[in-house]
C-alpha cells in the first residue's frame, strides 16, 4: 500500500503523448487561422476600394468644393483625387493603403501606358468616366469589383 502512494507524477511516455496530441491539434488549427486572416484582409481591401469609389461619386454629386472627384488605382492602394485628372503631388489626395497580402492584381478600365488607371465622375449625373472591373486578390483568393455605366460598384 505504501508503494502506491510513492508513484505520483507523470512518466516520460505520458508527457510525450500529451505533446503529440497538442502538436496534432496545433497543426490542424493553425492553417485555418491563416486562411481566415487572408480572407479578412481581402474583404478589407474590397471594402476600402468600394468605399473609395462611393465616396468619390458622392462628393462629386454633392459638388463638394465645386469639383468632380475620382479614384486612382495602384497595386497596393487607391487614391481619391480632386478633379478629372490625377496628380501625384496634389495635397488633396486621400490615400487608402491595403494590408498585405491584398493587392489590386488587375484593372480593366481601358488603361494603357498612355491612359492611366483612373476613374472620375460627372458632376451632374454621377456617371463614371469609364466602366469596367478591378480585381483584388491575395495569395489564394480574389474578388472582382464591377463599376457600371451608372457609377454603381458591386462585388462578384
Distance separating alpha carbons of residues 130 and 115, to the nearest angstrom: 11
Mean confidence (pLDDT) of the chain: 90
Is residue 4 one of the residues assigned to a domain? Answer: no
Closest C-alpha among 146, 149, 121 to residue 57: 121
| The pLDDT of residue 145 is above 90 | yes
Domain extent, residue 62, equals: 12-155
Asked whether residue 6 is assigned to any structural domain, the reply reads no
- Indicate the pairing of strand 69-74 with strand 118-120: antiparallel
Residue 19 within any structural domain of the chain: yes
Please determine, for residue 98, whether its predicted confidence score (pLDDT) is greater than 60: yes
Residue 123: name the closest of 62, 71, 79 by CA.
62
The model's confidence at residue 2, banded by pLDDT at 50, 70 and 90, is low
CATH of the domain at 143: 3.55.40
> Does residue 34 form part of some domain?
yes
Determine the distance from the C-alpha atom of residue 92 to the mean position of all C-alpha atoms in its chain, rounded to a whole number. 23
Distance CA 78, CA 63 (A): 21
Residue 119 lies in a domain: yes
Q: Beta-carbon neighbour count of residue 51 at 10 Å?
A: 14
Predicted TM-score of the model (pTM): 0.79
Residue in this structure with the C-alpha cell 469596367, named with its chain if needed: 132
Residue 5 has pLDDT above 80, yes or no: no
Strands 103-108 and 142-147: what pairing? unpaired
Domain tally, the chain? 1
Listed range (2-16, 85-99, 101-115, 123-137) with the worst mean pLDDT? 2-16
**pLDDT classification of 6: cutoffs 50, 70, 90:** low
For the chain, the straight-line distance linking the first and the last C-alpha, in angstroms and rounded, comes to 72
**Amino acid 7: pLDDT:** 64
pLDDT in tens, 119-142: 999 998 999 999 999 999 999 999
Backbone φ and ψ of 19, nearest 5°: -65, -40
Looking at the domain assignment, is residue 2 inside a domain?
A: no
Residue 90 belongs to a domain = yes
User: Using the 8-state DSSP alphabet, how is residue 65 labeled?
Assistant: G
What local confidence, expressed as pLDDT, does residue 41 receive?
95
What is the rounded CA–CA span in Å between residue 67 and residue 22?
60
* Residue 104 domain flag: yes
d(CA 120, CA 89): 18
Amino acid at each position: 500500500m505504501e508503494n502506491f502512494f510513492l508513484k505520483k507524477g507523470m512518466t516520460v511516455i505520458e508527457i510525450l503523448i500529451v505533446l503529440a496530441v497538442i502538436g496534432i491539434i496545433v497543426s490542424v488549427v493553425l492553417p485555418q487561422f491563416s486562411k481566415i486572416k487572408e480572407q479578412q484582409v481581402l474583404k478589407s481591401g474590397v471594402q476600402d476600394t468600394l468605399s473609395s469609389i462611393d465616396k468619390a461619386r458622392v462628393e462629386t454629386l454633392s459638388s463638394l468644393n465645386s469639383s468632380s472627384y475620382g479614384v486612382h488605382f495602384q497595386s497596393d492602394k487607391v487614391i481619391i483625387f480632386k478633379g478629372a485628372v490625377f496628380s501625384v503631388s496634389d495635397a488633396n489626395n486621400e490615400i487608402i493603403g491595403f494590408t498585405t497580402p491584398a493587392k489590386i492584381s488587375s484593372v480593366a478600365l481601358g488603361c494603357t501606358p498612355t491612359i492611366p488607371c483612373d476613374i472620375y465622375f460627372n458632376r451632374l449625373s454621377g456617371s463614371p468616366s469609364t466602366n469596367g472591373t478591378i480585381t483584388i486578390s491575395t495569395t489564394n483568393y480574389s474578388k472582382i469589383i464591377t463599376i457600371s455605366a451608372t457609377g454603381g460598384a458591386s462585388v462578384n
